[in-house]
């Protein structure tokens, strides 16, 4: 090793992250991430696994035994829930009001489910009446899936009401809470949500590549009664459970991302320290200040109704005549400030401004408003806003 030439570590730009994710990582979480690695079956790590499960139960507001972080991004959490619960031929009702509802539909289709879709305009929450009508028309439906907080549009759906409708028709629910976990009120047990997944890089402000998941007893019962084994080895909850189950005896499943789970644990400790209700209120209050500032500049929100607007992901309409990509590029290159572009039919029409976790701070609101106002008032913009 003496002959190895020491090269400087390549550094990356320091950005203010105010896009749809990832969010900024708190220094405490970065410190946890940088700890020396230990083995994924080390007794010290096994003890940490139990702590992480308890902290995730608090974040999800659940007592579900099977609550753990999937090794993979939020989409891996989605795949875990769908591949275990949905069998070929199952009728699945999928609510589509944005990109991630569409992704649920694609997942169910790949599993050869009988998919029924209900659609709402992008920027609108899922309509409970449409769900009720779909379930009345399809009494053999087994699963309802929807996105609680649609990251592509900034719309927040009424998960409690939607889950209540699903329960009346004896359907399980698969719920995407990637952007809502610890940012918006979420009560998994009280609302009767059956399988819920999220992502660590949003309001938890941890590293990407970890997907918190919780699965309730009704869903576990259906999984236990499958006619065929789960079609994926890596996401088979029966195998994963043998690794994440409580106690000192664990069956090897895969090499868990140890340092990423160190980071997740620290972010969850910070959530517990702040308190869930205070976290929800912080995201709501600071988002209101952002919306006030944007409206004072003459900008319009895609989701106008405050009760349906997602505070941690604010979608803003781009004024006519403004090159939205040029504005984003200037903010990134000159101000080291990241905001997001629109997806799907909203591409080129909106900006997505995130206020998630550690990024949800008043100084970030003031920074994005000042930078956006300056960029929009440049002479190069054909329609400046004062």
Contact at 8 Å (CB) between 17 and 367? no
Say whether 66 sits in a helix, a strand or coil: strand
Residue-wise pLDDT tens digits, 69-86: 999 999 999 999 999 999
The per-residue pLDDT for 386 is 38
Residue whose token pair is 């829930």? 81
Mean pLDDT of 245-261: 83
Residue-wise pLDDT tens digits, 12-24: 999 999 999 999 9
Q: What is the DSSP string of 208-269?
A: SSEEEEEE-HHHHHHHHT-SS--S-STT-HHHHHHHHSSSS-----S---HHHHHHHHHHHH
Give the single-character DSSP code of 301. Answer: B
**pLDDT band at residue 147 under the 50/70/90 scheme:** very high
Going 308 to 314 to 320 to 325, the CA torsion angle's sign is negative
Say whether 384 sits in a helix, a strand or coil: coil
Beta-bridge mates of residue 145:
94, 174
The per-residue pLDDT for 7 is 82
Percent of the chain residues topping a pLDDT of 70:
96
Rounded-to-integer distance, Cα 82 and Cα 64, Å: 18
The per-residue pLDDT for 124 is 97
If you compute the radius of gyration of the chain from its CA atoms, what whole number of angstroms results?
22
Contact at 8 Å (CB) between 265 and 212? no
The per-residue pLDDT for 10 is 87
Higher pLDDT, 250 or 323: 323
| Cis previous bond, 22, omega within 30 | yes
- Span of 116-130, 153-167, 233-247 with lowest mean pLDDT: 233-247
Mean pLDDT of 256-284: 97
Beta-bridge mates of residue 313:
354
Rounded-to-integer distance, Cα 181 and Cα 163, Å: 17
Mean pLDDT of 337-353: 97
Mean pLDDT of 173-187: 98
Residue whose token pair is 């008043």? 362
Mean pLDDT of 114-131: 98
Percent of the chain residues topping a pLDDT of 90:
89
The per-residue pLDDT for 382 is 41
172-176 and 143-147: which strand pairing? Answer: parallel
Token pair in block for residue 124:
């609108």
Within 13 Å and on the Cβ side, how many CA atoms surround 284?
A: 13
**Structural domains present in the chain:** 27-272 (3.40.640.10), 275-376 (3.90.1150.10)
The per-residue pLDDT for 141 is 98
Give the CA diameter of the chain: 73
Residue-wise pLDDT tens digits, 182-224: 999 999 999 999 999 999 999 999 999 999 999 999 999 999 9
**pLDDT band at residue 3 under the 50/70/90 scheme:** low
**Residues sharing a CB contact under 8 Å with residue 28, sequence separation 6 or more, in sequence order:** 266, 270
User: What is the chain's mean pLDDT, rounded?
Assistant: 94
């Amino acid at each position: 090793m003496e002959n190895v030439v020491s090269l400087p570590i390549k550094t990356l730009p320091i950005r203010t992250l105010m896009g749809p994710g990832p969010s900024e990582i708190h220094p405490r979480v970065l410190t946890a991430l940088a700890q020396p690695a230990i083995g994924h079956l080390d007794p010290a790590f096994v003890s940490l696994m139990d702590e992480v499960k308890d902290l995730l139960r608090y974040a999800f507001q659940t007592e579900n035994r099977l609550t753990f972080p999937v090794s993979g991004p939020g989409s891996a959490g989605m795949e875990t829930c769908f591949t275990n619960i949905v069998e070929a031929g199952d009728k699945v009702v999928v609510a589509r009001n944005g990109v991630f509802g569409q992704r649920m539909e694609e997942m169910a289709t790949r599993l050869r489910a009988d998919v029924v879709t209900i659609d709402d305009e992008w920027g609108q929450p899922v309509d409970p009446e449409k769900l009720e009508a779909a379930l009345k028309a399809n009494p053999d439906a087994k699963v309802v899936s929807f996105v609680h907080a649609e990251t592509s549009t900034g719309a927040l759906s009424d998960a409690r009401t939607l889950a209540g409708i699903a329960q009346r028709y004896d359907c399980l629910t698969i719920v995407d809470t990637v952007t809502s976990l610890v940012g918006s009120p979420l009560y998994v047990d009280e609302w009767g949500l059956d399988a819920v997944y999220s992502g660590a890089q949003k309001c938890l402000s941890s590293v990407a590549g970890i997907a918190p998941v919780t699965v309730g007893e009704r869903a576990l019962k259906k999984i236990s009664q499958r006619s065929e084994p789960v079609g994926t080895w890596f996401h088979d909850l029966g195998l994963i459970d043998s690794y994440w189950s409580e106690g000192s005896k664990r069956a090897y499943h895969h090499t868990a991302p140890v340092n990423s789970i160190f980071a997740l644990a620290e972010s969850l400790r910070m959530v517990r320290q702040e308190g869930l209700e205070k976290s929800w209120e912080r995201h709501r209050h600071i988002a209101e200040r952002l919306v006030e500032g944007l409206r004072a500049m003459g900008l319009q929100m895609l989701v106008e109704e405050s009760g349906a607007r997602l505070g941690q992901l604010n979608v803003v309409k781009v004024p006519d005549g403004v090159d939205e990509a040029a504005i984003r590029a200037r903010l990134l290159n000159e101000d080291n400030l990241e905001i997001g572009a629109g997806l799907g039919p909203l591409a080129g029409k909106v900006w997505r401004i995130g206020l998630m976790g550690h990024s949800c701070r008043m100084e970030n609101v003031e920074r994005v408003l000042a930078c956006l106002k300056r960029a929009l008032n440049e002479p190069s913009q054909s329609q400046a806003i004062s």
